[in-house]
Structure 1
Amino acid sequence: MPNSPPEKPVYRFAPSPNGFLHLGHALSAFLNHDMAKASGGRFLLRIEDIDLTRCTAEFEEMIYRDLTWLGLDWEMPVRRQSEHFDAYRDALDRLRSMGLVYPTFLTRGEVKAHVTAYETNGKNWPRDPDGSPLYPDDDRLRNEAERAHLIAKGIKHAWRMDVMKAMALVGKQLSWQETGTGHPETIPADPTIWGDVILSRSDAPSSYHLSVVIDDALQGITHVVRGEDLYTATAIHRLLQELLGLPEPVYHHHQLIVGSDGRKLSKSEGSTGIAALRDEGLLPGDIRRIVGL
């Protein structure tokens, strides 16, 4: 039998409707769209509205308006995370059945007090790549009876992954394929630098980490093109893909667009918003030039 033709590459742009799109989003959207077209592939749009407290229909409509104005087109229908909570719960249940997820009860204030007390002796509490302190061991060391008692009392809790236990189960060095430097590279992945990451909270059925790997798998994403601020998070995504038997995309992390203060752009900075620049009279070609394309 003749070999089957390779499947088309599939790219996606996945913004959250919790603010106005800015120049950094424009760069990512352009790259995904252009790379898909250049490779004869597909370009998908995904709305990452897992945070129901901050995401709004108004911001979502503005996303569609901004991307259309930029000259981008995408396949329909658009996947909206808020319509797929069951898929994320199923994945969490699978990890829970593997003994890799546990409930955590410490508040932010309690974690801060724990870290402060530790560092008064001149020692440094370990932190993740974003600078946040790693979650203490207290809840991971609780026995099942204690956990059940706290849950029965109605104490708010999140679900975290026991990363060390998960790595032991995987039993091998993880890596990912990266093309952001202009040529393919194999990058070693060390999920332990993040500590025990949150996979679900009381106010959100899934974290970014869990939902993004589920969505990418269900949508058949072959190439993940995103900002370099998510470079180290890829280690957690690769771990989840291994545990859940999901395919591994190729990753391409691009440079960030930064503001005058040298920091990455925020959705709260209206001056760099696509809508604001459009209202000033700029054209889509101007936006491409500004972001370096």
Structure 2
Amino acid sequence: MRGEWMKRLDAERPVLIAGPTASGKSAMALEVASRLGGVIVNADALQVFENWRVLTARPTRDEEAVAPHSLYGHVGRAASYSVGHWLRDLAPLLDGPARPIVVGGTGLYFTALTEGLADIPPTPPEIRAAADARIAAEGAAALLAELDAATAARIDRQNPMRVQRAWEVLRTTGRGLAAWQDETPPPLLPLAAAQPLLLDADRDWLGDRIDRRFDAMIANGALDEAERNLERGWDPALPSSKAIGAAELMDFLQGNRSLKDAVADGKTATRQFAKRQRTWFRSRMRAWMPIALP
């Protein structure tokens, strides 16, 4: 299958490439852009932030020189950035002169793009602050217990950010997230109008790649990057601070754990994140063309 997928692509319709972290999505996008042309567009909720290039595995400057890239590192470290923001930033690129090659690991971005996104009112700062405080003090389970049954059954319960978002919607609007989603407008890009590819990675193979990539991140400056973030004022509640491995590296820099433990825990956190991604993809993206890895 790995050698056949390129032959199935045409040079006109947008290409969507989804898959778990460290599975080789960026390399695949570069291959498509090199052979068929197009602009590579980020669909990763953490690679949008300007303050993490190494730790979020954003394309390197050399890779960015091979083909045009968009929506990488364009959001300030202290800013909030939602799937709605991403859709608004993406919309002009769908009608631009270059065919978009949308690549990333945030399943919610892809489903919002191809299935539509409910027009939910923004969360007031005081409700966001209350949610942040409760997550820190009680954990996501406390918020999950207060959700309506339909929403609790639909969201990714293992993802604290998704649980918090659902709780904020309920508190802000008085309606569950599921009810809003059931009134979703038409999508920007229906799946039938695109060429969707889903990387399906073997767990052990992916785990080895995750470990080696995290070691490479440390060797390529992830600690320096974390130190710059610490100097600018580290706030674990910021969306940009959710970069996988950031909390562990900050603990090391603040003297709370050894570098060896920080790296080991960062690898574990990345593996857990990849597991959540694979679960999402398999349940929500069954119509996509699977690309078996390795």
Q: TM-score, normalised to structure 2's length? A: 0.35
Higher relative contact order (CA 8 A, sep 6+): 2
The structure in which a higher percent of residues are strand is 1
Q: TM-score, normalised to structure 1's length? A: 0.35
Q: Which has the larger Rg?
A: 1
